[in-house]
Structure 1
Amino acid sequence: MTNISIEAPDIIRGQPYPGAPDNWKRFFTFSTDHKVIGIQYIVTSFVFFLVGGLFAMIMRGELITPEADLVDRTVYNALFTMHGSIMLFFWTFPVLVGLGNYLVPLMIGARDMAFPRLNAVSFWMIPIAGVLMLSSFLIPGGPSQSGWWAYPPVSLQNPTGNLLNGQVLWILSVAISGVSSIMGAVNFVTTIFRMRTPGMTWFRMPAFVWAVLGAQLIQLYGLPSLTGGAIMLLLDLTAGTSFFAPERGGNPILYQHFFWFYSHPAVYVMVLPAFGIFSEVLPVHARKPLFGYRVIAASSIVITIISSTVWVHHMFASATPPWMRMFFMVTTMLVAIPSGIKVFGWVATVWGGKIRFTTPMLFALGGISNWLFAGITGIFLGSVPIDLHVHNTYFVVGHFHYVLYGAIVMGIYAGIYHWFPKMTGRMYYEGLGKLHFALTYIGTALIFLPMHPLGLMGMPRRVASYDPEFAYWNVVASIGGFLLGLSTLPFILNMVSAWIRGDKVGNNPWRAYGLEWLTSSPPSVENYEETPIVISGPYGYGRNEPLVENIPNPNLTDFPESLTQQKTS
């Protein structure tokens, strides 16, 4: 592998070159290094996460009493819209793209992504789109009434031809975000197909790479639908077209098909990488091979295929014909099979293992338990009679947030803690990590579990005031929301402090088996001093077989001495 050239003046002055792992300035440049771009994604999306979380806490403060006595109802609706939009488009999607950006080339032995400049452009579109999104909250005519899904005709109420209004900025933001994601998907799929190191066959790829591949294939076939729908909606608003305007012969139901054809598979765009993280964390911290690796890997692609046939279950109450309801009810329940296969494989992986309850292991186990509950309620919602009964109630909100926060965000945290030593060369503080987990897991249960009985009782979502009979569960949920807000403090303190002054660790502090752990921590610019040649599968714990033939392999029998004092199952 060719080493990157370093200009002589930089060497003489002793200054690190622009892409060096010890040069913090690289995070503020138009870098084409996939590792820098990955961390740029992660940090930028976390800033948006804090903003979206602040909006959520204001809403929970409003809902702690039945009366609308904290913010104006219009402001509440705007907070609702912005919370959902930011958390989806500028937190969950980008942070998972960031983890994929950092890890996929390392895991398959590549020097970088297939299209480094396109990769950088994809990232820098995100802060631009994010600023537009936040601006839509401040400018008159914003998307306060239309929700994060922007259904017409509500989203078409702004004056036609007025370019400077919030709804237009919101649509532009979503469209730019969509283009960024499409470019990223092209990059990921090309990288995985064309840039695997010698010996890295399909079934020698880590499960995380399989999961990212499935998620990005969904982006390729589904995202053009949402992006096209957003552009058509923008034309209706600004150019006088009538794609979705019913008073001019348009069909608003068509927009719902455009929106949900992508926006339900988008759940799997987010959850598949989280599944991949679970599949990487459990074997390391249980010291066992991933049970049923090939089936778990293949199930990611099965989910990718089936997820393209489930979107109409969001439209059971939208004048959907009975035959269509039955078809999509079946396909919705069918997608639970490959998900169940994954859960079975994860349980079998930890069964009888030498479990260390490290922070990433706790977040992985907590995320899996939350996903199990979310999956069960998802089966309920896939049933037409139950879905019609709880449609537009807090039951749907509770289910959705158990998926998004309970499973996906906890998977994100598991991944960040697990690969933090690889990214920084330093170890996080275990005590702060476990405090973060406890606050997050308890807060998740307190805020989202009460939403299920609220929905069954009939409380509609998106309301600032409600009947006093719903007060008890709303108080509990608000306490959970404040606890979740509090949980981010130990995480921020842990990450910042550990990155600056945490204990330095070796290249592979977990003694993990993955290819990414066979290079330095943090990795050099081109990842590997020489091209690794893979000779075995990705999960060799307990077999003591080498992973590659030309790079020294670690002792995989147990954790290093510094971690052996942690509690074992």
Structure 2
Amino acid sequence: FTAASIMIVIPTAVQMFCWIATIWTGKLRIATPVLFVIAFFVTFTVGGMTGIMLASVPLDWQIHDTMFVVAHLHYVLIGGSVFPLFGALHFWFPKWTGRMYSEGLGRLSFWLVFIGFNVVFFPMHILGLYGMPRRVYTYQAGLHWETLNKVASAGAGLIALAVLTMLINFAISRRSGAVAGPNPWNADTLEWWIASPPPSYDFLHIPVVSGPNAVWDAAPNQPYVTGMSFEKREVLVTKVLDAEPDHREELPRHSIWPFVLAVASTIGLIGSIFYAWFFTIGLILAGIAGICWFWPKREDIRHQLALEGRA
């Protein structure tokens, strides 16, 4: 148990150093998305350190199934997923809406959620060391757990206030925020080359990537790809090393049958927990959906016959 748990530290540490090295070589623009990323570094690292503590068998015997485990899990899960998600929402908001969010409200929501999160979950480490069990909704008085639980409840209020501030920020900015333009972050990837919000077709012409930084390396009179079919869905596949055009790849057309197949599989698997016949029903429905999905379409047959006749 101890060896397997401590082994997790190796890939996690490599990940962390890779992320730090990624931003180390650049010039950080300290905006709300970056603040959430920094918060992710801090909270995820704290969660990893308490994970190493739980890997120790003598200590784990003492704090297993206590609030210490709750604190550890939330530092890993919220620090590792919710903070990056909040940062991503602020980062992509200009591209989705064409408007910039309020940086002042963004920073306010960040500090509220960061402080609130630590006020909620850091005292739980201490409660776990005091012996407070998890998954117990009430307890006897006089165990000296009351004060820290009140502090954690106050922190939960800060988190709720932070989420409310974030939603208000997005709602107001969606209507009256500053116009973002296509690339408010001066980013170098292709999604920031088009308008904000992007049109339904994304690129009117397929752009040519001439370097590792697609937008920064673009020439003033950038060439674009021609010769793609309008009769079917095609994409241009390029070489991995130099991004030179390699071949055209035909994509499947829109179809409802993959969704039907997923629903049928869900019915079969979930239903079989309760009744064995659900597995058979789901299997039959999935088979029908698969046949309908892969059944040749008339348009494809006609197109193929036309190509053969032209050859």
The two structures have a TM-score, normalised by structure 2, of 0.65
Q: Can you list the C-alpha shifts for 1:88-136, whole angstroms capped at 9, x where unaligned?
A: xxxxxxxxxxxxxxxxxxxxxxxxxxxxxxxxxxxxxxxxxxxxxxxxx
The CA deviation at 1:547 is: 9.7
Q: SS of 2:148's equivalent?
A: helix
Partner of 1:545: 217
- Structure 1 residue 389 and structure 2 residue 62: aligned? yes
- Structure 1 residue 336 and structure 2 residue 12: aligned? no
Q: Residue 190 of structure 2 contacts residue 214 of structure 2 at CA under 8 Å; is this kept in 1?
A: no
Q: In the alignment, residue 332 of structure 1 is paired with which amino acid?
A: S
Q: In the alignment, residue 335 of structure 1 is paired with which amino acid?
A: I
1:313-462 equivalences under 5 Å are 325=1, 329-351=2-24, 353-462=26-135
The CA deviation at 1:505 is: 1.6
Would the alpha carbon gap of residues 391 and 421 (structure 1) be closer, same or farther in structure 2, given more than 3 Å must change?
same
Q: SS of 2:138's equivalent?
A: coil
The CA deviation at 1:440 is: 0.5
Q: Aligned partners of 1:392 and 1:349: how far apart in 2?
A: 37
Partner of 1:495: 170
Q: Residue 370 of structure 1 contacts residue 406 of structure 1 at CA under 8 Å; is this kept in 2?
A: yes
Q: Which has the higher contact order (CA 8 A, sep 6+)?
A: 1
Q: Can you list the C-alpha shifts for 1:414-459, whole angstroms capped at 9, x where unaligned?
A: 0000010011111000110000001011001100000111111110
Partner of 2:156: 481
Q: SS of 1:534's equivalent?
A: coil
Q: Can you list the C-alpha shifts for 1:155-176, whole angstroms capped at 9, x where unaligned?
A: xxxxxxxxxxxxxxxxxxxxxx
> Any gaps of 5 or more consecutive residues in structure 1?
1-324, 552-569
Q: SS of 1:387's equivalent?
A: helix
Would the alpha carbon gap of residues 546 and 492 (structure 1) be closer, same or farther in structure 2, given more than 3 Å must change?
same
Q: SS of 2:192's equivalent?
A: helix
What percentage of aligned pairs have identical amino acids? 41
Partner of 2:186: 511
Q: SS of 2:207's equivalent?
A: coil
Would the alpha carbon gap of residues 379 and 511 (structure 1) be closer, same or farther in structure 2, given more than 3 Å must change?
same
- Structure 1 residue 525 and structure 2 residue 200: aligned? yes
Q: SS of 2:185's equivalent?
A: coil
Figure out how many residues of one structure are paired with residues of the other and give that number: 221
Q: Aligned partners of 1:530 and 1:410: how far apart in 2?
A: 36
Would the alpha carbon gap of residues 420 and 456 (structure 1) be closer, same or farther in structure 2, given more than 3 Å must change?
same
Would the alpha carbon gap of residues 534 and 392 (structure 1) be closer, same or farther in structure 2, given more than 3 Å must change?
same
- Larger strand proportion, structure 1 or 2? 2
Q: Can you list the C-alpha shifts for 1:311-361, whole angstroms capped at 9, x where unaligned?
A: xxxxxxxxxxxxxx3xxx433322322221222233334447433221111
Q: Residue 374 of structure 1 contacts residue 399 of structure 1 at CA under 8 Å; is this kept in 2?
A: yes
The CA deviation at 1:495 is: 0.7
Q: Aligned partners of 2:9 and 2:39: how far apart in 1?
A: 19
- Larger helix proportion, structure 1 or 2? 1
1:86-235 equivalences under 5 Å are none
Q: Residue 515 of structure 1 contacts residue 547 of structure 1 at CA under 8 Å; is this kept in 2?
A: no
Q: In the alignment, residue 40 of structure 2 is paired with which amino acid?
A: G
Q: Aligned partners of 2:60 and 2:201: how far apart in 1?
A: 51
Q: Residue 398 of structure 1 contacts residue 452 of structure 1 at CA under 8 Å; is this kept in 2?
A: yes
Q: Aligned partners of 2:202 and 2:53: how far apart in 1?
A: 46
Q: Aligned partners of 2:64 and 2:96: how far apart in 1?
A: 43
Q: Aligned partners of 1:339 and 1:425: how far apart in 2?
A: 36
Q: Aligned partners of 2:190 and 2:130: how far apart in 1?
A: 51
Rg larger in structure: 2
Q: Can you list the C-alpha shifts for 1:202-251, whole angstroms capped at 9, x where unaligned?
A: xxxxxxxxxxxxxxxxxxxxxxxxxxxxxxxxxxxxxxxxxxxxxxxxxx
Would the alpha carbon gap of residues 421 and 547 (structure 1) be closer, same or farther in structure 2, given more than 3 Å must change?
farther
The two structures have a TM-score, normalised by structure 1, of 0.37
The CA deviation at 1:481 is: 1.0
Q: SS of 1:386's equivalent?
A: helix
Q: Aligned partners of 2:165 and 2:219: how far apart in 1?
A: 36
Would the alpha carbon gap of residues 391 and 473 (structure 1) be closer, same or farther in structure 2, given more than 3 Å must change?
same
Partner of 1:227: none
